[in-house]
Structures are given as structure tokens and as C-alpha cells.
Structure 1
Amino acid sequence: MSDRVTVSKTYKLYLGGAFPRSESGRTYPVTDGKGRFLANAAQASRKDLREAVVAARGAFGKWSGATAYNRGQVLYRVAELLEGRREQFADEVAAGEGVPAKRAQALVDAAVDRWVWYAGWTDKIATVLGAANPVAGPYFSFSVPEPTGVVGVLAPQRSSLLGLVSVLAPVLAVGATAVVVTSQDRPLPAITLSEVLATSDVPGGVVNLLTGHTAELAPWLASHADVNALDLTGAPPELRVDLEKSAAGTVKRVLRVPTTEPDWTDRPDIARLRALVETKTVWHPMGV
């Protein structure tokens, strides 16, 4: 009996809740820490990125309009599905990041816990970041946090799952939608996450995941007029100043990060939640 033929996987993008190929037809090889071939990933183009932004904008109204309690339920369901594919994620993290199996499992567990942590914040954001303002007059004044809109995320390059979850989950928790450029060399956990999202209750278009070359896609994401905020976490250090200048042209909110990638195993805080909301102040006369 002859040996089986190896069937190489070629993954697709995740746009608008569907899995299209890149319109350019390009792919690139993904290898493990020792340079061994793992799979082919789609190499997204500028047109793919534009379509991702359109999908994110189209999904924003429904997602931001959902109750905070409902968003928490949806995100918790994603955490359940992440847990169900724990072994697959661990294998992909171990191969891509070159860490031992136990370390990979610990990172996956931390990613699931991180997702649950942000899911729990959905219905607490308004209480913590909002306020009833004291005024000298017959008025009520309330400050209410609202999602900033479509957020472009350059995912961490080294931490392929925990880092990705740490930058994506807060976007969804506040009610914003996301266009994510995944880790260039370690995209497999992000691809598997897209499969989780597609089978969860997250509406199509709320999350759009693009695999490809970060340096190619980042400038178009930074300059796109319909992207409201830009997370520079995974941006190449040599491009960050230029990306900030491009983002300034459309008055984007920019999330700045240290030059070196942070330790994602550190305890999270609400800084990212605060950075992704706008504060709307409403005045209302008493007795009306």
C-alpha cells in the first residue's frame, strides 16, 4: 500500500461572515518555527481591505445597537467555542510560536479567559466610563460612552492568539466593529478563530480578518476615510510614524503602543475599552 499524498491546506480570508479568496489570487506559505511548511494563507490586497471596511461599516449599526447584555452573551459563546477547539489552537500556537506544548496550552487557556474577561465588561462599560454630571440649573446632564465605529487593528506579530484576542475582544465589547490584519508569519490561530466566529452568534461583518503582508496593508488601513480608529500594536516600528501621519489625515483615533510588544500574559485593564469609545454628553431639562 502506497504512502498517502500530503494535501496542503490553502486558507481563505474572512470577510463579511464569508470565506472568499483574495481577489488578487495570491497566497503565501506559512512555516513553523523551524521553517517547515504548515499551510498556504491568502495574501490580501488593497481591494480586499476596502471590502472588509465596507463589511465592518455595514455591520456596525446592528452590533452597536444591540444591548450590552446581548453582546456579552454573544462574546461568551465565542469563548465556549474557543474552549471546544483548545487542542487545535494549542497545536497551532506551538507550531507558529515555537513553544512547548504545555506552554501553548497555557497561552490558549489565557486567551479563553481573556475573552471571558472582556465579555463580562460589556454591560459594565457605561457604568464605569459614563457619569451623571452635576450642573447648576434645572437640567440633567449625562455622559454616555459610545463605540467609536470601525476599528482597524494591526494584530500582534509574535503572540498569534493571546495577543490577537487581547486587541480584538475589547473592540467587540464596546460595540465597535473590526478590520484585523493578522500576524504575518503566524496567522493560523487567527484563521481558526475566524472559523469559530463564523459558527458563533457574532453577526457577519463585525469581525473581518485579513492575512497577508502587514507592511503592504497597513498604509491603506491607516488612510481609509471610513476607518475611525487604528490600533498600531502589530505595525512594523519603522512604519509607525508614517501610519500616524496617514491616520491624522482622516482624524482617526490612534492607539499607540510601546516599540516592543507587551507581555500579553499580564493582567488586562480597561485602558483599551476607554480608548475605543467616544463620550456623548446629553442635557435634558427637568420636569419634561
Structure 2
Amino acid sequence: MSELTGRLSVFKTYKLYVGGKFPRSESGRVYEVIDSKGTWLANAPLASRKDARDAVVAARKAFGGWSGATAYNRGQILYRIAEMLEGRRDQFVAEVAAAEGLSKAKATAQVDAAIDRWVWYAGWSDKVAQIAGGANPVAGPYFNLSSPEPTGVVAVLAPQDSSFLGLVSVIAPAIVTGNTVVVAAAENAPLPALSLAEVLATSDLPGGVVNILSGRTAELAAPLAAHQDVNALDLAGADDALAKDLETAAADNLKRVLRPSAANWTADPGTGRLLTFLETKTVWHPMGV
């Protein structure tokens, strides 16, 4: 057999990730993704308001099963995702380097930190109840117990300045506590997020727990903030003007809102995001004496 020459490259087709499936954008629209030097990288799907609504439906459908899973089971699923990220490490290094204009060494450091952070959050799955709940002293023959429960469907605007480490830092803490999420990927650097979707789809994570959209952040954020079936917003990727508008829209059904703030995504994340999207359930029970 003669050696093949002049082989054409097979370009990757990126798609949205909604309900465990990979649909094209509802309108069929795409937009060009370029690197820091202006070189074309790929066409990413330009999600619409309809795509955002479909993602919320998928997230709500998945919420019952995911929130009802044991904390141990959720932790094991997240750890499996970290294993798969490790196996595709080189791919993510290349995508992060292109997306953020980083050297290979710096991109590798970002990806390694993201995988480590995913493992770190996985380890918190069965420990959050110990720091966010407990027994309360009350007068009378009662047990009074408080326990944390997930808020529900969380709309997440991924950080614009950290296409992978920042992305992991906002997705993992929301889902490890039992929430489901609809994520608007970084507008100018969505490819690492869309590749993360491929990992999630082939892991043990149930479809609909994480839904990833690419497109114009403001265009996707508006219907998510106003949606009556979205329970909370993480505005990490919003600028001040957009955040103000979204907070106003979110007030209509009293969504929990995590406002944007200057973040060093390489720093110790702490437990802030773990505890933000939790509600406290308190139960009174007679002692039986």
C-alpha cells in the first residue's frame, strides 16, 4: 500500500451540551473563535434564548435524581470525572494555551490546577453536612437538627478570564452539593468548556446535571436570570453593568445571587462557593421520653 500524501485535516465540530446530548444551536448559528493572535481556531455554536430554556428544562429534570443521590455517590462520580480529565490532559493544555495566549508550561499549570481542584471538591461531597449542619440546643424534649440541601437549578456565567480553571472553580462546587447547572461558557474562549462537556458525557454524571452553552454571555444570561425555574445565579463572568441588570431580573422570583468579584482562580478556593448554593432544612423531632 502506498503511503498517503496530502492528507486533509479533520476539523472538530463543537456543539452545545444539553440534557446529556450534543445538539447544534437551535438557530443553527455559529461564531468564530480566535486565539490571542487573531488566528481562527474553530466555529462554536451560538446558543439562543430557546437553547437556554431547553437547558433549564434538562437541569430541572435531572435535579431530583442528582440531589437525591448520596453524597458519597456524588463524590465518586466527580472523582471519576477528574480521572478522565487527567487522561485528556494534553488536549486541554493545547486548548487553554490557544484560548488564553499562554505558553505550554503556563497552560499545563492551569490544567493541572483545574484537575486538582476538581478532586478537591469531590472530596467535600460527604463533608459539607458537617460544617453546614448540626444539632441545635433547644429547650424541651426535642431533637432539633439542621441539614444542608441544594438550592436547585443554578445558572452559571463562567469567568471570562480563565477558560478552564475558572470554569471548574464555578461548576464543581455547585454540583457536588446536589445542584444542577446551566453554564454559559466564556464568550471568547468557549472551547475548553465544550471539550469538558465531552468528558462529562462519557463519565457517570447523569445527563442534565451540567448543561453547557456557548455564545454571547449577555444574550444567554438575560433569559436565565428571568426564568422562573432557575433558583440561583453565579455571576462570575458578568461585568458590573450586566450584573446589575441580571440582579434586577433575578429579584422577580427571589433567586439567590452570587455577585461577581475580583477573583484569583489559582488561590485556595475555600468553602464559599460550596456553601452559597445550599439551603438549610431544620427538623424538630420528639425525643420520645
Q: What residue number does 1:45 align with?
A: 48
Which stretches of structure 1, 4 residues or longer, exceed 4 Å deviation after superposition?
none
The reply to whether residue 65 of structure 1 matches residue 48 of structure 2 is: no
DSSP-derived class of the 1:265 partner: coil
- CA shift at 1:5, angstroms? 3.7
Q: Are the equivalent residues in 1 in contact too, given 2:143–2:284 (CA < 8 A)? A: yes
Cα distance between partner residues in 2 of 1:218 and 1:135: 44
The TM-score normalised by the length of structure 1 is 0.97
Q: What residue number does 1:145 align with?
A: 148
The reply to whether residue 254 of structure 1 matches residue 247 of structure 2 is: no
Q: What are structure 1's unaligned runs of at least 5 residues? A: none
Q: Are the equivalent residues in 1 in contact too, given 2:100–2:163 (CA < 8 A)? A: yes
Cα distance between partner residues in 1 of 2:185 and 2:233: 14
The reply to whether residue 276 of structure 1 matches residue 277 of structure 2 is: yes
Q: What are structure 2's unaligned runs of at least 5 residues? A: none
Q: What residue number does 1:10 align with?
A: 13
Q: Are the equivalent residues in 1 in contact too, given 2:35–2:98 (CA < 8 A)? A: yes
Q: Which amino acid aligns with 2:247?
A: E
The TM-score normalised by the length of structure 2 is 0.97
Cα distance between partner residues in 1 of 2:187 and 2:7: 30
Q: Which amino acid aligns with 2:217?
A: T
Cα distance between partner residues in 2 of 1:8 and 1:235: 31
The reply to whether residue 196 of structure 1 matches residue 199 of structure 2 is: yes
Q: Are the equivalent residues in 1 in contact too, given 2:239–2:260 (CA < 8 A)? A: no
Q: What residue number does 2:91 align with?
A: 88
The reply to whether residue 105 of structure 1 matches residue 108 of structure 2 is: yes
Q: How many residues align?
A: 286
Cα distance between partner residues in 1 of 2:187 and 2:270: 26
- CA shift at 1:237, angstroms? 2.4
The reply to whether residue 211 of structure 1 matches residue 217 of structure 2 is: no
Q: CA-to-partner distance for each residue in 1:93-117, whole Å, 9 max, x for gaps?
A: 0000001100000100000000000
CA RMSD after TM alignment: 1.1
Cα distance between partner residues in 2 of 1:43 and 1:191: 12
Pick one of 166, 187, 191 that aligns with 2:190: 187
- CA shift at 1:287, angstroms? 1.0
Q: CA-to-partner distance for each residue in 1:99-157, whole Å, 9 max, x for gaps?
A: 11000001000000000000000000111100100000000000110000000000001
- CA shift at 1:7, angstroms? 4.1
Q: Are the equivalent residues in 1 in contact too, given 2:243–2:260 (CA < 8 A)? A: no
Cα distance between partner residues in 1 of 2:46 and 2:205: 24
Instruction: Give aligned-pair identity as a percent.
Output: 66
